Chains A and B, each alone.
Chain A
Amino acid sequence: MPCPVETTVESRADRRRAPHGQPPVDGPLRLPFAELNLRRNPFGELEAAERAAVAVVEVDRLVRRLEQPGYAVQFIGEKGRGKTTHLLAIWRHFPQAVYVHVGEHERPRIPHGRPLLIDEIQRLSRWHRRRIFRRRVPLAIGTHEDLGGELRRAGFEVQTVRPAEALDGKRLCRMLNRRVERARRGPGPLPQISLQTAQAMLDHSGDDLRAIEFCLYDLFQDLAGIQDV
């Protein structure tokens, strides 16, 4: 599906393109995205710590409750809906917490942490999950399936959050501009994402934040100068 937003100015790619269909010949090396006053494409893949730093999520209420034992919060949603971002945002509030991402077909050793943050916990076997829940430490989990029943049976007080439900144009606009700001190179203006664009993205890709990021990545890759997108 094509991206709903297009730039009309000469793009970075146009300027790099060699004449007469010749293969691209790179010009002299320059600092990346310096012409946009950025250090990198703001919508590229981020490391966990960086993703946590740019998160626009409200977790203060959850953070207070996660200080108590016997409390669990589960973030439910499909991929690209913000589960990991919420977990990483919580992680920033607890220096002694442990964040574990469970990869496909992995059986990772779950270390001790308080609270314990486990992403993609549905990939663990029921038996493995039950052993973790027996630890009775505060839990924050990201999952594709509702594990409320299992948690309650293990004696947890459970709160369920579906991150995608709270997403609207204004919030998305704030999230996207936070990412642009985070990639800032120096003082001065930056490209800004308008509310209109954020709304168009939401209409186009729904609540799939990852699809929105991919689309904006290509857009910024072609952006020739600082302008509102």
Chain B
Amino acid sequence: MSKCDLAIVFARPNRTYRGGDELSGTVHVQVNQDVRCDGLIVEHFWQTHGQGNTATGPKESSVVFQGNLQAGQAYSYPFRFTVPDGPPTYHGHYLNVDHYIQARVDIPWAIDPKLKEEYLLLPDEREYGNLPPDRNQQPRLMGQVLKLGLPVGVAMIVAGVLVLFPCGIVLIPLGCLVVFAALRQSLAEKKIGKVELHWGSLRVAPGGEVPLALSFTPRQSCTLNGITANLLAVEQCVSGSGRNKSTHTHKVHQQSITLAGQGPLTAGQPVQVKTTVPIPQTNAFSFSASDNELIWTLEVRVDIPLWPDWVEKRVLTVRPAPAAEIAQQQPGQPPPPPDARRTRAESKAAAFPAGAGSPAAGDLGSAGMTLSMGSEVTFHRPPPEPSLARGPAEAAPPAAEQQPAVTQQPSPGTAAVDGALGQLVDRLGAANRYGSARDEIIRQYAEQSFPCSIEIDAVERTYTYVPDQRFRNGRTVTGLLRGTDCRVSVQLPEERNEQLDTLGPGDTLQANCTPLKWNNIHDRLEIREL
């Protein structure tokens, strides 16, 4: 018999919480033998279970009692914690993520009686960790193959032939495979020309969409088997270590979307595909911890018959988003209420009505798919919502009315990307990184101001020379323009230093800014607060 029996009772019988909620309850201790208790410790943490080695999140603990426990007595101790923001509870096939309250009686020189009970953490829009680290990056292995594949493959062949022959002959086919993997894109582009593929934001919510724009001009006339986008979500769990290591993979979701069907390509005739890839409604959010991962990837494949395919892949971050945002991204949903956040397409149409120089044909955020080949441009666009008829003045409040504000948490009702700013970001994304096209675009917007919401990565002193005295001793905030994958650095005046020094990575900065230039070295947009 254990020295004492424990029971944990939650204040909420359904044990269901959201990030930031107060979690309270009581630990009941029934003592079977007299014991000296060095501490009755109550802790809360998340933990994985399933086929992977157990990963445990950071623990927060409190000692609710210290002293002697007498046999036959029953004690009750209340506890109270703030529920963490994530990761949300997930129950999959090989991977499960649960949140626990654990009570442990610390008894010297004996096995500590302990008990842990789960509670359910619902998905919430608040920021949390344990998401894939690389945004807008290729999967690690593919990136390595593209970078090092050619020299490694050649080295393997040379070593197989010259150094290790005849035993090393096995290296020759392996080396050929590595070289082929490294050269595949180049071989494909010999036929179909340089392929430009622009991804929209790779941070997306279930029910949302990932915009894609692909264009190329074939060098040779040939036939195409098709262009597909493959969306894949897998649970990947590792059990054991060393030679005992086993990797378990389970497909949570797999979907192949045909972007263009079979057809002939004519040399010199440009091909453009614009579409959005829908993310299904699911609780399988991206998750990354040691030996336990849930990874979403999106692969675009141009299938060329009897020739290496052109393939590019990205890791998506699928995470909860504000309910309003998800609802608006669902195709076929009724239009959102007037005060809800507008979609980027609506914002753009409102800010750039027809005839006002809107490059709408190139919009990544358009809901329909556009496939144009050569001069026969086919355009499918959903009929405009009634709200689209609104003029720019009505759609976007004047800059003077926008109050710059610094907040610790994003305010759900604030538009993350203004229509005109979204337009600018899309045009920058579509422009050639290494030419002067981006600077030219920025010059066109130089006189405009945009309300921006920036997810902060770092707040630093402004080191560059700035002619305007107000900014010389100010701060520069680097981060991500909320709702996009566009990196920005914002110059802010000295008068805001005190306020900015309280902010850190993960906080959100809201400011009214004007674009300055494109920084090619850091691949980011430089803006300044007005």
Interface residues of A (CB under 8 A from B): 13, 22-26, 29-32, 39-41, 44-47, 79-80, 92, 95, 101, 103-104, 120, 123, 210, 214, 217, 221
CB of A26 within 8 A of CB of B50, answer: no
Q: How far is the CA of A46 from the CA of B49 in the complex (A)?
A: 8
Q: How far is the CA of A123 from the CA of B241 in the complex (A)?
A: 13
CB of B253 within 8 A of CB of A24, answer: yes
CB of B52 within 8 A of CB of A45, answer: yes
CB of B120 within 8 A of CB of A31, answer: yes
Q: Which residues in B have their C-beta under 8 angstroms from that of A44?
A: 49-51
Q: Which residues in B have their C-beta under 8 angstroms from that of A31?
A: 15, 118, 120
Q: Write the nearest CB–CB distance from A13 to chain B, whole angstroms.
A: 8
B281 interface hit (Cβ, 8 Å): yes
Chain B interface residue count, Cβ-Cβ cutoff 8 angstroms: 34
Q: Which residues in A have their C-beta under 8 angstroms from that of B283?
A: 26, 29
B96 interface hit (Cβ, 8 Å): yes
Q: Write the nearest CB–CB distance from B257 to chain A, whole angstroms.
A: 12
Enumerate 5 A-B pairs (CB-CB under 8 Å) in ascending A order.
Answer: A26-B283, A29-B120, A29-B122, A45-B237, A92-B111
Name the interface residues of B475-500: CB closer than 8 Å to any CB of A: none
CB of A40 within 8 A of CB of B241, answer: no
B109 interface hit (Cβ, 8 Å): yes
B366 interface hit (Cβ, 8 Å): no
Q: How far is the CA of A103 from the CA of B241 in the complex (A)?
A: 7
Q: Which residues in B have their C-beta under 8 angstroms from that of A40?
A: 49-50, 96
For B270-311 the 0/1 string (1 means CB < 8 A from A) is 000000000011111000000000000000000000000000
Q: Which residues in B have their C-beta under 8 angstroms from that of A45?
A: 49-54, 237, 239-240
Q: How far is the CA of A149 from the CA of B280 in the complex (A)?
A: 61
Q: How far is the CA of A221 from the CA of B109 in the complex (A)?
A: 38
Task: Name the residue on B nearest A34 (C-beta).
Answer: B118
With most chain A CB atoms within 10 A of its CB, the pick from B120, B122, B255 is B120
B381 interface hit (Cβ, 8 Å): no
Choose from A101, A103, A217 the contact partner of B51 (Cβ within 8 Å).
A217
A25-B280 in contact given A41-B49, A45-B52 (Cβ < 8 Å): yes
CB of B91 within 8 A of CB of A32, answer: yes
Q: Write the nearest CB–CB distance from A15 to chain B, whole angstroms.
A: 13
Q: Write the nearest CB–CB distance from B435 to chain A, whole angstroms.
A: 41
A24-B93 in contact given A29-B16, A32-B98, A45-B51 (Cβ < 8 Å): no
Return the 5 tightest CB-CB contacts between A and B, nearest first: A104-B242, A23-B280, A26-B283, A45-B239, A40-B49
B252 interface hit (Cβ, 8 Å): yes
CB of B118 within 8 A of CB of A39, answer: yes
For B90-112 the 0/1 string (1 means CB < 8 A from A) is 01010010100000000001010
A79-B243 in contact given A23-B253, A39-B118, A45-B51 (Cβ < 8 Å): yes
Q: Which residues in B have their C-beta under 8 angstroms from that of A95?
A: 109
Name 17 extra pairs, CB < 8 A, besides A26-B282, A40-B96, A45-B52.
A22-B280, A23-B253, A30-B120, A32-B98, A39-B118, A40-B50, A41-B50, A41-B96, A44-B50, A45-B49, A45-B50, A79-B240, A103-B242, A104-B241, A104-B242, A123-B242, A210-B240
Choose from B89, B111, B237, B241 the contact partner of A29 (Cβ within 8 Å).
B89
Q: Write the nearest CB–CB distance from B318 to chain A, whole angstroms.
A: 12
CB of B244 within 8 A of CB of A79, answer: yes
CB of B241 within 8 A of CB of A47, answer: no
CB of A23 within 8 A of CB of B282, answer: yes
Choose from B98, B118, B255 the contact partner of A23 (Cβ within 8 Å).
B255
For B12-24 the 0/1 string (1 means CB < 8 A from A) is 0001100000000
Q: Which residues in A have their C-beta under 8 angstroms from that of B246?
A: 210, 214
Q: How far is the CA of A179 from the CA of B283 in the complex (A)?
A: 29
Choose from B53, B96, B109, B284 the contact partner of A26 (Cβ within 8 Å).
B284
Q: Which residues in A have their C-beta under 8 angstroms from that of B16?
A: 29
With most chain B CB atoms within 10 A of its CB, the pick from A45, A47, A79 is A45
Q: Write the nearest CB–CB distance from A189 to chain B, whole angstroms.
A: 21
Q: Write the nearest CB–CB distance from B281 to chain A, whole angstroms.
A: 6
Q: How far is the CA of A95 from the CA of B280 in the complex (A)?
A: 51
Q: Write the nearest CB–CB distance from A144 to chain B, whole angstroms.
A: 8
Q: How far is the CA of A26 from the CA of B366 in the complex (A)?
A: 29
Q: Which residues in B have their C-beta under 8 angstroms from that of A120?
A: 242
Task: Name the residue on B nearest A22 (C-beta).
Answer: B280
Q: Which residues in A have their C-beta under 8 angstroms from that of B15?
A: 31
Task: Name the residue on B nearest A123 (C-beta).
Answer: B242
Q: Which residues in B have their C-beta under 8 angstroms from that of A22?
A: 280
Choose from B53, B91, B93, B244 the contact partner of A80 (Cβ within 8 Å).
B244
A104-B122 in contact given A26-B283, A45-B51 (Cβ < 8 Å): no
Q: Which residues in B have their C-beta under 8 angstroms from that of A217?
A: 51
Q: Write the nearest CB–CB distance from B333 to chain A, whole angstroms.
A: 16
Q: Which residues in B have their C-beta under 8 angstroms from that of A221?
A: 93
A25-B282 in contact given A47-B54, A120-B242, A123-B242 (Cβ < 8 Å): yes
Name the interface residues of B27-56: CB closer than 8 Å to any CB of A: 49-54
With most chain A CB atoms within 10 A of its CB, the pick from B54, B253, B255 is B54
Q: Write the nearest CB–CB distance from A18 to chain B, whole angstroms.
A: 9
Q: Which residues in A have their C-beta under 8 angstroms from that of B243?
A: 79, 104
Q: Write the nearest CB–CB distance from A136 to chain B, whole angstroms.
A: 26
CB of A24 within 8 A of CB of B252, answer: yes
For B109-133 the 0/1 string (1 means CB < 8 A from A) is 1010000001010100000000000
Q: Which residues in B have their C-beta under 8 angstroms from that of A80?
A: 244
Q: Write the nearest CB–CB distance from B89 to chain A, whole angstroms.
A: 6
Q: How far is the CA of A95 from the CA of B110 in the complex (A)?
A: 8
Task: Name the residue on A nearest B279 (C-beta).
Answer: A23
Q: Which residues in B have their C-beta under 8 angstroms from that of A23?
A: 253, 255, 280, 282
Q: Which residues in A have their C-beta under 8 angstroms from that of B52?
A: 45
Q: How far is the CA of A217 from the CA of B120 in the complex (A)?
A: 23
Q: Which residues in A have their C-beta under 8 angstroms from that of B120?
A: 29-31
Q: How far is the CA of A104 from the CA of B111 in the complex (A)?
A: 31
Q: How far is the CA of A104 from the CA of B340 in the complex (A)?
A: 55
Name the interface residues of B234-256: CB closer than 8 Å to any CB of A: 237, 239-244, 246, 252-253, 255
For B215-248 the 0/1 string (1 means CB < 8 A from A) is 0000000000000000000000101111110100
Q: How far is the CA of A92 from the CA of B112 in the complex (A)?
A: 12
Task: Name the residue on B nearest A106 (C-beta).
Answer: B242
Q: Which residues in A have their C-beta under 8 angstroms from that of B122?
A: 29
Q: Which residues in A have their C-beta under 8 angstroms from that of B284?
A: 24, 26
Q: How far is the CA of A120 from the CA of B242 in the complex (A)?
A: 10
Q: How far is the CA of A79 from the CA of B253 in the complex (A)?
A: 32
Q: How far is the CA of A168 from the CA of B244 in the complex (A)?
A: 23
